[in-house]
């Protein structure tokens, strides 16, 4: 998966977190770590993606924090997606999560 030339594979989480409306640096670091963990194990439940009880508990505490909102987390994703779309030179495919794409050529 290519995420964009400016961030590359290793730094896409930074772009997602940079524009997120997360109130402090500690919570921003936790969001970045969660993005790393969850993207490394797509489709897995949070405990399986986090790997151990301490990381799982930290994830649930992050999600339960009243200062962390859905809008705050998604604002970073929306901004990063818009930047990646603007930087694209070719067509952009937007597939639903239930779509199967099979290329036979």
Residue 36, both tokens: 């790393």
pLDDT in tens, 37-84: 998 998 899 999 999 999 999 999 999 999 999 999 898 889 988 988
Quote the CA–CA distance of 70 and 56 in Å, as a whole number: 19
Quote the CA–CA distance of 95 and 37 in Å, as a whole number: 23
pLDDT in tens, 12-26: 888 888 888 888 899
Angle at which helices 25-40 and 53-64 cross, to 10°:
120
């Amino acid at each position: 998966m290519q995420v964009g030339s400016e961030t590359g594979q290793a730094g896409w989480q930074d772009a997602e977190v940079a524009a997120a409306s997360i109130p402090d640096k500690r919570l921003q670091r936790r969001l970045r770590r969660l993005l790393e963990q969850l993207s490394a194990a797509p489709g897995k439940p949070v405990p399986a993606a986090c790997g151990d009880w301490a990381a799982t508990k930290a994830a649930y505490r992050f999600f339960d924090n009243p200062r962390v909102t859905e809008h705050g987390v998604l604002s970073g994703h929306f901004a990063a997606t818009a930047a990646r779309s603007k930087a694209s030179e070719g067509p952009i495919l937007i597939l639903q999560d239930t779509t199967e794409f099979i290329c036979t050529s």
